[in-house]
Amino acid sequence: MRKIFAVLVICLLSACASDNAQQTSDVEDHSYSSREGEGTRGGTGSDGFGMNPLQDPGNILSRRSVYFDFDSYTVKSEYRDLVLAHAAYLRDNTNAQVLLQGNTDERGSREYNLALGQRRANSVRDILLLSGARDQQVEAVSLGEEKPRTLGDDESSWAENRRTDILYQGEY
């Protein structure tokens, strides 16, 4: 069930991304062209149809959400390939920049939850920086409990909100 939901969310996200494609094309083209000639190094390159890999549903780079366990800030092994793929993309596209937005499902103090969400963003940032991305390419911020993707009062809703989103410049 959760997987189906995750797929749905990703579809929605990519729908959003394509909605934005027009206004963001400048930025994307820029990073795309800088990547040309580097081929498919790192497995993150062109899909062979000239499609932006960040928006190609078949490319791992189109996956942008890293989910966390309750009260945890550790990037789970199932998201390792995803984060490493983005690290490689950032390494190969020095003009690309990402905003990492951490989120929480917790109750209580909004400011404390902001700090907890920051930890989730920082965990993803640390892997990106260790795997080739440069510091100036990555900004880790928190939205705390302020921007829940789902509003339900059940575990699947809470789990959906325990996440870090990876947004490329022009997508936010």
Contacts with another protein, residue ranges (CB under 8 A)? 99, 101, 107-112, 114-116, 118-119, 122, 139-144, 146-147, 167, 172
Q: How far is the CB of 172 from another protein (least distance, A)?
A: 4
Q: With respect to another protein, which residue has the nearer C-beta, 45 or 144?
A: 144
Phi, psi of 160 (to 5 degrees): -60, -30
Q: How far is the CB of 120 from another protein (least distance, A)?
A: 12
Q: How far is the CB of 117 from another protein (least distance, A)?
A: 8
Q: How far is the CB of 114 from another protein (least distance, A)?
A: 5
> Is residue 67 within 8 Å of residue 76, measured between CB atoms?
yes
Q: With respect to another protein, which residue has the nearer C-beta, 46 or 157?
A: 157
Quick one: tokens of 7? 């797929």
Phi, psi of 30 (to 5 degrees): -60, -50
Q: With respect to another protein, which residue has the nearer C-beta, 93 or 118?
A: 118
Q: How far is the CB of 118 from another protein (least distance, A)?
A: 5
Amino acid letter, 75: V
Q: With respect to another protein, which residue has the nearer C-beta, 35 or 162?
A: 162
Q: With respect to another protein, which residue has the nearer C-beta, 59 or 65?
A: 65
Q: Tell me which residue has tokens 């103090």.
A: 109
Q: First-to-last CA distance in the chain? A: 29
Residue 165 CA to its chain's centroid (Å): 4
Other CB atoms within a 10 A radius of the CB of residue 123 amount to 22
